[in-house]
Chains A and B, each alone.
Chain A
Amino acid sequence: MERTDGRSAGQIRTVRCERGLLTRADGSAQWTQGGTCCLASVTGPTQCYASSKEDAERATVDVVFRPRSGLAGALERQYEALIRRACEAVIVAALHPRALIQVVLQVVSDDGGVLACALNAACAALLDAAVPLRTLCAAVSAAHTEDEGGLLLDPTAAEEAAAAATGTFAFLPLLAGGGDSKGDELQLLSSQTRGRLTTDQLLDMIEAAKQGADRLAAFMQQSARQAAPLAQ
């Protein structure tokens, strides 16, 4: 089955990752997936702006999600919570007690899958800021369409709107040369779905997303090596 933009059902849009675009941040990355683009900046480890946020044992991770236009609402807060938990899972927070690691995400353009794109941008920016990470995380969105009877990976906004159900899934992907991942294990880190699915459809969706996430993580790893050849 071919999609309107010529992709196959399990194909992810062209991915681009540019790093170090912002000079005043400790790390930054712009992650583009087709028509969706997010700019992420990372500041930290730095001093906590509020003593109530300080944790005596580990660094606090703070995520700010800015929509393309308008003010952030409840949806953005939900995205922030999900991205924060995913970042907390990959950052070795115990290395920087009482410090703050702040991730700011700005949506540049939105053509579907903005949450997945933002999470990938956040992970790439954390790499760029050289924040110690356990492993990478990668997120993929998926849509289930009734009429075409198919599962679409990385749907565009139009495909999302036409879908019976959509979901975004983040994984600790299988990395070349080690990492925490255990090969055949699913390693689902976070998920969020909308719409009606059967149990099997949900499991298929998660499985397909996992394969997509592995490919994205391989790309992320490769782009990190290119940006910092000495680190190899």
Chain B
Amino acid sequence: MANLYTDNRDLKFHLSHPMMQKLVMLKERNFVDKDDFDYAPIDFEDAMDSYERVLEVVGEISGDIIAPNAESIDAEGPRVENGRVIYAKGTQENLDALVKAGLLGITLPRRFGGLNFPIVPYIMAADIVSRADAGFVNIWGLQDCAETLNEFATEEQKERWLTRVVHGDTMAMDLTEPDAGSDLQAVQLKATWSEKKGTWLLNGVKRFITNGDGDIALVLARSEEGTRDGRGLSMYVYDKRNGGVTVRRIEHKMGIIGSPTCELVFKDAPGELIGNRKMGLIKYVMALMNGARLGIAAQSVGISEAAYREALQYAKERAQFGKTIINFPAVYEMLSVMKAKLDASRTLLYETARFVDIYKTYQHISEERKLTTEEREEMKEFQRLADIFTPLVKGITSEYCNQNAYDAIQIHGGSGFMKDYAVERIYRDARITSIYEGTTQLQVVAAIRGVTTEGYLKQIRVYEKMELRPDLEKYRRVLISLTWDYEEAVEKVINGGDNEFIDFHARRLVEMAGYIIMSYLLVLDANRDMEYARSAQNFNKMAKGEVKARAEFIRASSLEDIGHYKY
């Protein structure tokens, strides 16, 4: 009976961020659709009202159907019969409910039957569904792939594929292979043009494919014979109705058990080329991965929320030594830190989603008309921000959700180790978030550009100049001082002129930037709503300790030290 949207005021708070006005105006092209579509908004308030009402439906389905199904799905899991995946019973129920409610193709344009929502409310829906069942969200969240088709396919292709996604066809992104995991340049699945059949034929094996038996798959394949690197790869769309792909097995996983992770065998499976040959990895997979990374960040925040709530509830109910355990400093501190990490994760998530939203919307507008000089500048600015914030938010939120799941079990004590409590599942589900769609270590490889190009610093300066209530000034002073530490550390590492030295400290530098950015965002949240004053304060204290520790480490570090770590 719970509604996971309305019972969480943080969501509405982030949905009503001041930047939404601009974002919605852009996304709705000044509400031009209102004469052609009876469900298109009339104005800004109408659009916001629609997002909220639809999120209420997401919250209701999540509370009434998805969350109650999570336990049985985790126990039952999907299975393979005759090369096809059969979902757990609850998974199918969840999916049917969401399809009936019209919650697929949320961000797609209305002309293909989508809701034309910005990324912010879509990510919010993913945040909500993840809290209910982090394993299930993968299947539903793969509608992200449609966004890549919307970006790079021809109008005629979009017409054929996107309309099917809106009607409930599920998707998959077939990238990984046994010998091509983090290093996708090594992909070997072969695409050959068949004159006789007038189509590309795909042959080979894919592994670790989430929802690998989905109706429509985007497949990365080697179209250029004799090539060995990323430049020989193209992107194809495969239609399950055409046959040619069988599921050899599904993995037995530690967590997100409801989400079938498949090994696929392609035998002359027909594929349709998307965009240009040779651009598969370089351009399309990059776009796909960035969307997916934001999705994993939403999943991580949803998991953090679930973990925090389970822990809080338990701590309020469990009594030991004559009082409920929430009254013990060791427990309430743990809970407050969990909450601070949760709030920090979420504020960074929606900040990033807004950056991505504005950049992507400008990109779509540029296909319709020429952008003005200012618009083009703005698009580039937001693209730059989206590019450096996406790996940052994926890396940090996934690590935090693991920490929060760990602490949630700790608060449950021995009970948390038992299958009787939801935290046990949450803990297992959390573990994958810092691994798939690029490990945290690989997010750092992408994010370090934000350090070296001063992208993070530039944005920190923007936050630094924001108007604040006098009572929040003290946090700004702390953050200004931490920014000095950060700049000093960056200078030392970069000026060292050694790439290995940069790689060695990269995570530390990215995390320092992350702490400062999240702390600023929480202070700004507190500036808008006093509810966040507590997390703003607690996170600011934590940020100080964490940034200072890293600064000290770097201060005391020299190139020679690396030798002590090497094998």
Asked if A and B are interacting partners, one says no
